[in-house]
Amino acid sequence: MRSRLQPLTSTGIVVAVLVLSLVVGAILTAVEGRNFLSSGNIDAVLTGCSILGLIAIGQTLVILVGSLDLSVPFVVSLTSVVAAGQMAGEPANVVPAVLLALGIAAVIGLANGLVVSFLKVHGFIATLGMGLIISGYLGSNYQGSHGLAPRSFRLIDATQIGPVPLTFLIMLGCALLAIVMLRRTRLGHHLYAVGGSPEVARLSGIRTSVPVIAAHVLCSVLAAVAGLLLLSRLSVGSPTIGSQGDYDLMSIAAVVLGGTLLAGGKGNIVGTLAGVAIFAVLDNVMGVMQVNPFLKDVIRGLVIVAAVAVYAGREIDRRPARFDRPTGLDAVLQETK
Amino acid sequence: MPATSVVLQARGLTKSFVGHTVLEDVDLELRAGEVLGLVGENGAGKSTLMKILAGVHSPDSGTVELNGEAVSFSHPVQAQQAGISTVFQEFNLLPERSVAENIYLGREPRRLGLVDVGQMHRDTEELLTGLGVTGLRPGQRVRSLSVAEQQIVEIAKAVSYDARIISMDEPTAALAEHEVELLYGIIGTLTARGVAILYVSHRLKEIFRLCDTITVLKDGRQVTTQPASSLDDAELVRLMVGRSISSFFPDPVEGTVVGEPALELRDAGNGYVDGVDLTLRAGEVVGIAGLQGSGRTELFEGIFGVRPFTRGTMSIAGTQVRPRSPRAAIRAGLAMVTEDRKATGLALNQTILDNALGVVRAVFPRRTAQARRDVPGLLSSLEVSARATDQEVQFLSGGNQQKVVLARWLTTEPRVVLMDEPTRGIDVGAKHSIYELMRSLAADGVAVLMVSSELPEVIGMSDRILVMRDGRLAGELPAGSSEETVLQLATGVTVAPTTTTPAPTDAPTEEVAR
């Protein structure tokens, strides 16, 4: 088992698992008498990827730099109600509303980043606090749905290019930008460096706060884009849409499933997207099969834990064995002699 | 080479931390193309001095002049830009990033605003070729490199800043003997280019091999600065410790009896070692030599149940056992002093007492009370210098930390003690007390098995020398064999004395060793 997995990278594994889940999903869907590859179903899977995908891209950046962002679901909710309120059904308000939502998110991300890098509060706590603050604000100022998106804005969610929804393309575009950023800019390289070892980064002359703050700002802004897309879909802002989606923990799960080290410094966007897609396929297939919602969560949970267990096992023994590893059976035989 | 010119001149450097003076009125002069050796026991102020030059600390008083101009650094990067690079003892590399990414970290070449990976790889290639290094690919992930290769990446990184001065803190601490040669070659290349090198090492042989001038520090003060040619080993040791050590490697304690076999392996093997036959008797000190990666540590891990043997038999004091976990091994009477005391030997932020009792508490809870009473005596017999037993071990020097590791194992009253690089990175005085401890353990009927990359140590301390090669025991040599013989067996090739082992410079070491 181990020897066959050895040459595969973490990303390789997660892509392989994705392909496997696609095949199994297609078979199970066919058993139910439905077509997994029907354009309606492809649309459903891709749409399922888009929102979590955007958030998980941001989460990847934050985790790579060695932090975490638990405030994303609240940023999603906040931007959806704020933008909806600002739009108030008027097409002319769309651009200012979008800019306002993105700006608020950037400020939230900036605050997270500053607290993490200068007050040395771990991202887990800093963003937990930020999440609570936003959640309190939402709870006291918004009851139920709020505002209205004009038809022109709702079109974003409704538009499709072939079987591919526009929201998915927006997510993919953000992913490409993030990939280029990570691989081809100094910021990206320094993000890995700070996540790998802040001390090494510092001794190499990197201002370690810059990548941390940038990652948090980008993460919040991507969450805001997700909030706006949800607004486009629902046409009204909802103060609970983010927390309903469990986007904080699901995005972290997708990132880790995608092979990124929770401690930071190692990982990539492609893995994360594959992780998101695995969840989307699981959800879709379980939806078609009408699996009990509680069982759904059990299966998701098992997938996450199993994935991390596989990675953890791979991390331990890096050195290849010099002498052939005896199989378990051999060892037992030796033992009984 | 043109007449040597002074590139760095430091005068009257003084530094204290929280009222404790660690460096007092030290002068230093580095010349282009020369290697200055900085020696002294741990705590003598070598690291502080290096860190001042590197811009990590700023001195309380004193001046540093670079090419005649006074400089003061408040950040390591300023020192690097001024042409002073430092290779610290701990690796400052990112294991998950490539060689090129590590070397050019913070200075990635760009084209049109984007990082030019191709350029970065070409620059790396050129840099490595210039240092005479082959077989390292710029795209290789650092995690996949050997310790020696990582050390080379560190040095290449230092060189890549166009450094005029490179200081190296114990660059060979983690290297095996043959890898050290590679480092010597690189240092030769650098000095030929006119780079000045500040070289800190505990290995006297290296100091004499490499250095033109030697500065000795003791308790933060400069004892002397002399041309290397005017010193010999014995004199240098005397200057460092302030007393002469007549027998650096102590002889067996009188009355030591080599008794029954304490540990026996027959055809033992796991994934990393194979076909090991070994008999270790009570009262013996046996050394294991071998190159890095020859399976020495893995053999220990097999014995100690970390990577249990899957083949062959093992017995302790005549009883057949096969520990499948360290816990089982400890119960069977084994102890293992690991290679990396900070990572696997100690809980750094716990107290000396908690560390000393760590193993007993976990494995023999009923003996804890007795062990707690024994610890103070044990610590003082090991000459641990610490304020009190409730001091956190992270604040101790390397030598004292290692003694706490030993105390931690001695409280379990083991029959067999495995020591993996027991004196790595510790000063001469602490080394000596660990050697004496090994002898007194043997006198008490304990069997000691030691792995060491320092040949003089293996040769000087062992009653018998076992040599490993490629995961197998290549052979056994008697006490006092020459370094050439050991190396021949370890590498499996006949070493021409001119290429690898500089016999003349070795001779004094051997004399001290006896």
Per-residue pLDDT of chain B (514 residues; tens, 9 = 90+): 444 688 899 999 998 876 677 888 999 999 999 999 998 876 678 888 888 998 888 889 999 998 888 888 888 888 888 899 988 877 789 988 999 999 999 889 988 889 999 999 999 999 999 888 888 899 999 988 877 788 889 989 988 988 899 999 888 766 766 778 888 888 999 999 999 999 988 777 788 889 999 999 887 888 889 898 888 877 887 787 665 544 578 888 888 888 899 999 999 998 889 999 999 999 999 999 987 778 899 999 999 999 999 999 999 999 999 999 999 999 999 999 998 888 888 988 899 999 999 999 999 999 999 999 989 888 888 888 887 888 888 888 888 999 999 999 999 999 999 999 998 878 778 888 899 999 999 999 999 999 998 878 888 899 999 999 888 999 999 988 887 788 778 877 654 443 333 434 333 343 333 3
Tokens 């095996």 map to which residue?
B176
Smallest CA–CA distance, residue A335 to chain B, in Å, is 8
Smallest CA–CA distance, residue A303 to chain B, in Å, is 25
**Chain B contact set for A184 (CB, 8 A):** 114-115, 117
Helix (H) or strand (E) holding B315, with range, is strand B311-316
- Tell me what ipTM this predicted complex has: 0.81
**Chain A contact set for B273 (CB, 8 A):** 322-323
Given strand B84-87, what is the order of strands in its sheet?
B84-87, B165-169, B196-200, B35-39, B213-218, B221-227
Integer Cα distance of A21 and A290 in angstroms: 17
State the average pLDDT over residues A208-228. Answer: 97
Contact B269, B456 (CB under 8 A): no
Q: pLDDT tens-digit profile of A238-257?
A: 999 999 988 999 999 999 98
Q: How far is CA A73 from the centre of its chain?
A: 11
Q: How confident is the model at residue A223 (pLDDT cuts 50, 70, 90)?
A: very high
State the average pLDDT over residues A88-109. Answer: 95
Please report, for chain A, the start and end positions of each structural domain, with discontinuous segments joined by +.
Answer: 35-313
Q: What is the pLDDT of residue B470?
A: 84
CATH superfamily of B245-333+414-514: P-loop containing nucleotide triphosphate hydrolases (3.40.50.300)
What's the burial of B80, exposed, middle or buried (CB within 10 Å: 0-12/13-18/19+)? buried
Q: Do domains B6-241 and B245-333+414-514 have the same CATH topology?
A: yes
Integer Cα distance of A46 and B118 in angstroms: 35
What's the sign of the alpha-carbon dihedral B175, B181, B184, B188? Answer: negative
Integer Cα distance of A173 and A223 in angstroms: 15
Helix (H) or strand (E) holding B84, with range, is strand B84-87
Q: pLDDT tens-digit profile of A115-173?
A: 999 999 999 999 999 999 999 999 999 988 999 999 999 999 999 888 889 999 999 99
Determine whether the interchain pair B106/A265 forms a contact, defined as Cβ–Cβ distance below 8 Å: no
Q: Whole-prediction pTM value?
A: 0.75
Q: What is the pLDDT of residue A3?
A: 40
Q: What is the pLDDT of residue B282?
A: 94
Provide the chain A residues 181-200 that lie in CB contact (below 8 A) with chain B.
Answer: 183-186, 188-190, 192-193, 196-197, 199-200
Please report, for chain B, the start and end positions of each structural domain, with discontinuous segments joined by +.
Answer: 6-241, 245-333+414-514, 344-413
Q: What is the pLDDT of residue B316?
A: 93
Bridge partners of residue A152, in order along the sequence: none
CATH fold for the domain made of A35-313:
ABC transporter involved in vitamin B12 uptake, BtuC (1.10.3470)
Q: What is the pLDDT of residue B503?
A: 39
Domain made up of B6-241: CATH architecture: 3-Layer(aba) Sandwich (3.40)
Determine whether the interchain pair B115/A200 forms a contact, defined as Cβ–Cβ distance below 8 Å: no
The C-alpha angle B221, B225, B230, rounded to 5 degrees, equals 140
For the beta carbon of residue B318, count every other beta carbon within 10 angstroms: 9
Integer Cα distance of B404 and B345 in angstroms: 9
Determine whether the interchain pair B97/A192 forms a contact, defined as Cβ–Cβ distance below 8 Å: yes
Integer Cα distance of B247 and B245 in angstroms: 6
Which residues of B244-284 form beta strands (DSSP E)?
A: 261-269, 276-281
Interchain CB contact of A201 with B (< 8 Å):
yes
**Chain A contact set for B145 (CB, 8 A):** none
Q: What is the pLDDT of residue A317?
A: 45
**Chain A contact set for B117 (CB, 8 A):** 183-184
Tokens of A81: 């109600």
Find, among A174, A168, A172, the residue nearest to A156 by Cα. A168
Contact B297, B380 (CB under 8 A): no
Tokens 């998701």 map to which residue?
A300
Determine whether the interchain pair A206/B106 forms a contact, defined as Cβ–Cβ distance below 8 Å: yes
Q: What is the pLDDT of residue B18?
A: 66
A5: pLDDT strictly greater than 50: no
Q: Which of A3, A65, A187, A204 to mutate to test the interface with B (most CBs of B within 10 A)?
A: A204
Interchain CB contact of A203 with B (< 8 Å):
yes
State the average pLDDT over residues A2-31. Answer: 75
